[in-house]
């Protein structure tokens, strides 16, 4: 677990040091976030969707248990914090609570803990997280940014914004490849892998740059680690989501024990860095999202260890 999580904190720390020693400029985290949103993340999503098969996505019970658990956590801030937070901020809170780091942590963790047999289930979780959960969050953020007109006018504006958003249109176009209608040259596939591979590391470096920024009017960045809201979102992510998922997997969809364990572990991962990237892209406050990402990642080894011990007792 240490070998998987240590690079995450290493990248955040390198970002922090690079700004403190003025190796990069004061707007570096903004520009790096923009690079991730417009180039690296779309390439990563395209690569994931292009190489997933319908057979992999055919595990309906696994997919439903994972998806319901994630969307239930995302819905809680939207439904119960209406007066305290703007809609866009609640969308990001929900993303923090239901968006597991299935790519950067989940895939290597599944391989390490469960071996090659976990590849299909881990791929399902990664695709659902990066495409469906993230896509819904983007749609909600676009809806929030276009509100103030009639329902039809708002819907048209949201649709137009979505089809111009590289984080939406690029992975959708990858369906042509996964369906076998289009074949990519090896050079293009290599380009996408190189560009997509930068998404996770660059987003984490951007978090470090954000914490090192020089803003005398903002002292909230470090105090956000100790705010009750941060703790609640971390508990939703690391405790409530896997608890709901295991109940669904066991008693609703009646999955086999290996699938129950895998889907629960994939739902119990810490918050992914995509929430921080969206906060920057839509000009929302990234303080809380960055705090939840780091706190949940610090706490995850303990909660995952307890979870694996408890799951090993299943019959």
Q: What is the pLDDT of residues 211-241, one digit of tens each?
A: 787 764 455 566 777 788 999 999 999 999 9
Q: CB neighbours of 125 closer than 8 A, spacing ≥ 6?
A: 66, 100, 102, 106, 263, 266, 267
Compute the average pLDDT of residues 116-139.
81
pLDDT band at 48 (very low <50, low <70, confident <90, very high): confident
DSSP string spanning 139-204? HHHHHHHH-SS-HHHHHHHHHHHHHH-HHHHHHHHTHHHHTTS----HHHHHHHHHHHTTHHHHHH
Dihedral over Cα of 281, 282, 287, 289: its sign? negative
pLDDT band at 116 (very low <50, low <70, confident <90, very high): confident
Per-residue pLDDT at 149: 64
CA-based R_g, the chain, Å: 19
Per-residue pLDDT at 67: 94
Q: CB neighbours of 313 closer than 8 A, spacing ≥ 6?
A: none
Tokens coding 15: 């970002």
Dihedral over Cα of 165, 167, 170, 174: its sign? negative
Q: Which of the pair, 243 or 285, is modelled with greater confidence?
A: 243
What confidence tens digit (pLDDT) does each residue in 66-91 have?
999 999 999 999 888 767 788 889 99
What confidence tens digit (pLDDT) does each residue in 23-38 have?
998 889 888 988 988 8
Per-residue pLDDT at 250: 93
Residue 71 to residue 245: CA distance in whole angstroms = 11
Per-residue pLDDT at 158: 73
pLDDT band at 278 (very low <50, low <70, confident <90, very high): confident
Q: How many CA atoms lie within 13 A of 189 on its CB side?
A: 11
Task: Flag whether pLDDT at 101 surpasses 90.
Answer: no
Compute the average pLDDT of residues 243-250.
95
Per-residue pLDDT at 56: 61
What's the pTM?
0.80
Walk me through the domains of the chain, giving residue ranges and CATH numbers: 2-311 (1.20.1530.20)
Task: Flag whether pLDDT at 209 surpasses 80.
Answer: yes
Residue 267 to residue 98: CA distance in whole angstroms = 8
Q: Which of 142-151, 186-195, 283-292 has the lowest mean pLDDT?
A: 142-151
Task: Flag whether pLDDT at 194 surpasses 70.
Answer: yes
| 107 φ, ψ (degrees, to nearest 5) | -65, -50
Tokens coding 281: 């892209």
3-state SS class at 271: strand
């Amino acid at each position: 677990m240490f070998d998987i999580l240590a690079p995450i904190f290493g990248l955040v720390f390198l970002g922090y040091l690079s700004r403190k020693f003025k190796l990069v400029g004061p707007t570096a985290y903004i520009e790096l976030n923009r690079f991730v949103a417009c180039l690296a993340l779309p390439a990563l999503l395209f690569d994931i969707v292009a190489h997933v098969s319908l057979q992999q996505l055919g595990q309906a019970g696994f997919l439903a248990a994972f998806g319901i658990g994630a969307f239930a956590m995302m819905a809680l801030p939207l439904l119960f914090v209406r007066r305290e937070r703007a809609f866009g901020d609640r969308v990001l809170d929900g993303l923090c609570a239901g968006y597991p780091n299935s790519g950067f942590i989940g895939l290597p963790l599944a391989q390490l803990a469960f071996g090659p047999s976990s590849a299909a289930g881990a791929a399902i979780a990664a695709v659902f997280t990066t495409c469906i959960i993230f896509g819904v969050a983007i749609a909600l953020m676009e809806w929030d940014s276009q509100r103030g007109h009639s329902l039809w006018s708002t819907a048209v504006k949201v649709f137009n914004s979505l089809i111009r958003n590289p984080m939406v249109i690029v992975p959708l176009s990858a369906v042509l490849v996964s369906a076998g209608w289009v074949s990519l040259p090896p050079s293009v596939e290599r380009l996408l892998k190189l560009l997509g591979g930068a998404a996770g590391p660059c987003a984490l470096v951007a978090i470090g740059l954000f914490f090192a920024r020089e803003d005398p009017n903002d002292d909230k960045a470090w105090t956000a680690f100790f705010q009750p809201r941060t703790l609640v979102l971390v508990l939703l992510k690391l405790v409530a989501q896997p608890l709901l998922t295991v109940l669904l997997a066991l008693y609703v969809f009646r999955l086999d024990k290996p699938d129950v364990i895998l889907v629960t572990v994939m739902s119990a991962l810490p918050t992914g860095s995509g929430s921080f990237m969206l906060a920057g892209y839509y000009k929302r406050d990234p303080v809380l999202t960055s705090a939840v990402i780091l706190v949940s990642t610090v706490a995850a080894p303990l909660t995952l260890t307890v979870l694996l011990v408890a799951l090993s007792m299943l019959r």
